[in-house]
Structure 1
Amino acid sequence: MTGILTRRALGRALLARQHLLTRTTMAPAAMVGHLVGLQAQAVPDPPYVGLWSRLEGFRPENLTELIEQRQAVRVGLQRGTIHLVTAEDCLTLRPLVQPVLDRGLRSTFGKRLEGLDLAEIAARARELVEQEPRTFQQLGELLAPGFPGRDPAALAQAVRAELALVQVPPRGLWGRSGPAAHTTAEHWLGRPLDPSPSLERMVLRYLAAFGPATAADVQKWSGLTGLGPVLARLAPQLETFGDEQGRTLYDLPEAPRPEEDTPAPVRLLAPFDNLLLSHADRTRVLPEEYRPRVMTPNGIVLGSLLVDGLVAGSWRLADGVLRVRPFGPLRPADVAGAEAEGRLLLDFAGVGGERVEVEAAG
C-alpha cells in the first residue's frame, strides 16, 4: 500500500479525471468514451450539460450529430439505468451488465413472468422492434395476444432485459422531442454485441474516470456484484492506497492525483451527473448532510453547484432564469463564480441575455 489519501485528496483526483478542474478541448465522442457514458434517464438535458461542464466550446449540436449519426446511443446499462454511450461501448458494456438487468427483472416482474419462456418472448419481440422502433407500451400490446392472461407491461420489461434495446432519435435530442421508441443495438448499429467483453477492461476504465476507488465503489457505479476478485486479479498492475476509514483503494499508477490544496473552480453540474452517482461513498464530493437536498425521495438528482470541489447548492433553469440555491453562505468570489458559470450555461442553452439569480444562503 502506497499511503493514505484524505477525502479532500480523493475529491481532487476525481475532479481532475472528470475534467472539472479545467475544461478540456477533447472531442465530445472521446469524452463520452472516457466517462464510460453519461446517465441519461432524464431527457434531454443531462448528457448535454454534463459535456458542457467539461468541454471547452461544446455546443448542443456537437452531441446531437453523434446521436443522429449513430456514433452514440441511449441504452440501459450501469445500474440498469439509461446511459448515453458510444456505439462501441454499447456493444461491449451491454453484455457485461446483463446480470444487473436480470436481477432487476426478477425483483420487479418475476412473479408476473413465472412459467414463461423469456427466450421465446425475446425472439418474438426482436422481429417486432427490428421491423420498426416500438415503445414499451406498443411492444407489450403486440406481444400480449401470444401470451394470454399475461401483463403486457411485464412482457415489455422482459424484452428490455433480454435484448439490447437502444432508444432511437429524436428521443433525447436537444430542443426536440420524441417517444422512447426502441430497436435492437445490433439492428441500429449494424454490428453484433461483443462476444467476449472484458470485465477487467471495464474496471480499468472506471478507475481512469472515477478512481481511486474501492471494490464497493465499482460495484455501486456498475450495479454488478462480486467485483472484488476482478480487482484482486488486476492488483499487480495497480497502485493501492488506504483512505481515512481504513478501506483499500485501487488506482492506475499514472492516473492524476493532484495535491489536495489544488484550486477547484466553481462549476454547475448537470442533473444526474455521474460525479455524484458513481461511488458507494460519495462524500469526496457530496457532503452527507447535503445529499437529501440534491437526491430527492422520488429519485431525482438535481443540478448541483460545486464550490471548492464540493457540492454546495443546487440550480434550476426555468423561463430563462437560472436560479442557484446555495446550502450555506458563499464567499463573494464564489458568488461571482456561480454567476459567471450561470451566464455561460444560459448562453449554451440559447437563452443568453436572461438572468442568473444566486439566492440567499440556506
Structure 2
Amino acid sequence: MDRGGSNTGTLLCLNLSRRNPPNLEASLLDDQTNDQSVLKQTPLHDLHLSLGARMVPFAGYDMPVQYPAGVMKEHLHTRAAAGLFDVSHMGQVLVKAKSGSYADAALALEKLVPVDILGLKEGRQRYGFFTSDNGGILDDLMITNRGDHLLVVVNASCKEADVAHMTANLADCEVTLLEDRALLALQGPQAQAVLAELWAGVSDMKFMEVREVPLHDVPCIISRSGYSGEDGFEISVPADKAEDLAKSLLEHPNCEAIGLGARDSLRLEAGLCLYGNDIDTTTSPIEAALEWAIQKVRRPGGDRAGGYPGAARIEEDLTSGPVRRRVGLKPEGKAPVRAHAGIFAEESPESPVGEVTSGTFGPSTEGPVAMGYVPASLAQPGTRVFAEVRGKYLPMTVTALPFITPTYKR
C-alpha cells in the first residue's frame, strides 16, 4: 500500500545520492497528462507551495515530491525525528450496513477480502486487500472497526474503482467516499512527542489502535500506524481544518514536511509494498509474502475460509506454496537497481528468472535496496542473483525483509 500501509501510484525514480536530485519525476498509473489544470489538489496544496515544495503529478493530484532540503535529508529526518506527510489523495471510505449492525458490514466486506473483519475489535484497524477472481490483488487497504461501521482507506489511484467495486458487491451496505476529509501522516521516533503537544493521551495508544479525539477542538480520527517503518500516526481531519492542523504540527522543532520521494524510500527500506509496482492484479497475496495478513479463520480449515474472489488460487498457494516469491534484494556496490530490471539466476542473458519491482538508494542503509520476484527455489536469503543494468549484470543477494528494524509501538 501507499501507507501502513498505504500503497498510490508508480514508483518515483529518484537519485537519492544527490542533495537535490535533478531528475525527479512521478508517473501516473492512468497516464494522465502533466497539464496542471486537470490535476486535483489536496487541502494542503497552498501550504506545500508556501514551503517551497516541488510539485509533480501523482495519481491525478498535484503533490509535493520534495521540499528544499531534498529527498535524502527528508528521509533521514523522518528516521531521526518526525516527518509530516500529506496523504489526502488517498480514499477514505465509510461502509455501513443498512441494518446498522457492524457484524453485517464486516461479513459483507469479507466477501471481497481474505481477512478477518468480523473478529476485528472496535477501535482497531487491520491491513487487507481486495482480490480478483484469479487471486490477484485489486488494491491493498486499511480497515478500521468504528463501532457501527467500517472505515476503509484505499490507494488514490484505485479509489474510484474500489468504491465502485464495493458499491456493486455490498448491496446491503451504504458505501460513501468521504470527500470532505484530509489525511495526514506523522511519522518518526519523535512523532508521539509532536502529537502530544496537541493531545496528551497519545502515549496510551498502541500500534494499529484508532481513536476519535479533538485536536484544537476539531474532531479527528487518529490511528497509530503509517507506511515508513517508524512509529507514527495517521490523522483524518475535516478538509477545511487540515492546513491549520498541519501548521500546528510543523511548529514543533522536531517536525518537518516530507514529500513523496522520501516516503517512497522509507517504505522500501521497511519492505512495504507499493500498489502498481510490487503488487497488482497478477500477483497473489502469497506470492507477495503477505500471507501474514490472512488470519487463521479465513484460511483452509478455518470457520470462515474462502468465500472471497480468487480463493481457490490463494488457498492453493497457502497449502502448496507459490511458484514465485517477493524478496528483498541487496545489490553490490552503490548503484541502485530500478524497477523493471530483469533478474537472472546466472550472469547470462539466457537465464531470466524474475523482475525488480522497486529499487532505490537507501539513505538509512547507506546502500542500494530493492524488491522483486524470483522463483521460490531462489527465494532463500543469501541466494546470489543478478540484475541487468544498462547491459551489465550486477550481483545481488536475496535478503530478508525489512531492510531496517521497524519501531512500531506494540
- TM-score (ref. length: structure 1): 0.30
Higher strand share: 2
Q: More helix per residue: 1 or 2?
A: 1
Q: State the TM-score, normalized to the length of structure 2.
A: 0.28
